[in-house]
């Protein structure tokens, strides 16, 4: 906020607000940009947990984007990020498979309650992944495609704020097999990294 906006919102005289800001600046709690006249929280305040609760979709998407790109590159599969929706889960970020196959952007799509993304958001967050085949059943292997999803936890409260998923061949994502285990570890590592990135994000 600018100095004028602060005085107007606080209803205090300019001199009183100036004295308060001087003290806060001396402690490093407020930063002042001389060129624009804008005051903003200093470093110690930016590291405090967000008041009022959970990160919003923009926070989650921003924190997840670099990790989702890395996850797609290392797994060779599509990566989806979704948040809770009354009908299941809504996809807010999609990274294509790193190949030349035809693919459709699904950002904004809503997936049903039985999908891996929706189940990861509502099932107990015990560090495990949810395996779901295209027909909606638990993925036991075989041909076709499947999804593997896990929750991204709110660093302040441990509740799921989003779900992260890999989508690809069932044989690479089923609950058994060396490749599937490696992809599960990649997914869990990425989800933890996104949660840590949310914790480090500045308070807005």
Tens digit of pLDDT per residue, the chain (204 long)?
787 877 887 778 888 888 888 878 877 777 877 767 787 776 555 444 444 456 778 889 989 999 999 999 999 999 999 999 888 999 999 999 888 888 899 999 999 999 999 999 987 666 678 888 865 445 444 557 889 999 998 877 678 899 999 998 877 776 555 566 788 899 999 999 998 888 766 544
Q: What is the pLDDT of residue 74?
A: 92
- Is residue 83 domain-shared with residue 120, that is, in the same domain? yes
- Is residue 38 domain-shared with residue 68, that is, in the same domain? no
Is-contact 136 114, C-beta < 8 A? yes
Q: What is the pLDDT of residue 187?
A: 93
- Is residue 127 domain-shared with residue 89, that is, in the same domain? yes
Question: Of 62, 98, 99, 103, which Cα lies nearest the Cα of 81?
Answer: 62
Q: What is the pLDDT of residue 146?
A: 87
181 within a domain of the structure (yes/no): yes
Q: Is the dihedral of CA 102, 58, 197, 112 positive or negative?
A: negative
Name the helix (H) or strand (E) containing 134: none
Structural domain span for residue 190:
57-200
52 within a domain of the structure (yes/no): no
101-149: per-residue pLDDT in tens?
Answer: 888 999 999 999 999 999 999 876 666 788 888 654 454 445 578 899 9
**Length of the chain in terms of residues written:** 204
186 within a domain of the structure (yes/no): yes
100 within a domain of the structure (yes/no): yes
- Is residue 194 domain-shared with residue 141, that is, in the same domain? yes
- Is residue 36 domain-shared with residue 103, that is, in the same domain? no
- Is residue 126 domain-shared with residue 192, that is, in the same domain? yes
Model pTM? 0.68
Question: Of 107, 188, 105, which Cα lies nearest the Cα of 151?
Answer: 188
User: Which residues neighbour 196 within 8 Å (Cβ) at sequence distance 6 or greater?
Assistant: 155
Tell me the pairing of strands 78-85 and 38-41: unpaired
- Is residue 73 domain-shared with residue 22, that is, in the same domain? no
- Is residue 102 domain-shared with residue 36, that is, in the same domain? no
70 within a domain of the structure (yes/no): yes
- Is residue 61 domain-shared with residue 145, that is, in the same domain? yes
Q: What is the pLDDT of residue 48?
A: 43
Q: What is the pLDDT of residue 53?
A: 53
Q: What is the pLDDT of residue 52?
A: 47
């Amino acid at each position: 906020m600018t100095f004028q906006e602060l005085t107007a919102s606080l209803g205090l005289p300019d001199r009183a607000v100036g004295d308060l800001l001087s003290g806060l600046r001396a402690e490093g709690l407020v930063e002042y940009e001389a060129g624009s006249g804008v005051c903003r929280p200093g470093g110690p305040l930016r590291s405090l947990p967000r008041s009022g609760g959970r990160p919003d979709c923009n926070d989650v998407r921003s924190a997840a984007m670099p990790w989702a790109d890395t996850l797609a590159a290392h797994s060779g599969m599509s990566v989806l990020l979704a948040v809770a929706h009354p009908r299941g889960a809504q996809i807010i970020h999609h990274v294509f498979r790193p190949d030349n196959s035809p693919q459709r952007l699904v950002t904004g799509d809503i997936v049903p309650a039985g999908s891996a993304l929706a189940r990861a958001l509502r099932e107990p967050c015990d560090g495990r992944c949810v395996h779901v085949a295209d027909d909606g059943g638990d993925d036991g292997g075989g041909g076709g495609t499947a999804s593997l999803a896990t929750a991204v936890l709110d660093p302040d409260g441990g509740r799921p704020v989003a779900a992260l998923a890999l989508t690809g061949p069932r044989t690479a994502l089923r609950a058994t097999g060396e490749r599937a285990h490696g992809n599960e570890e990649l997914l869990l590592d990425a989800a933890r990294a996104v949660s840590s990135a949310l914790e480090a994000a500045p308070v807005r």
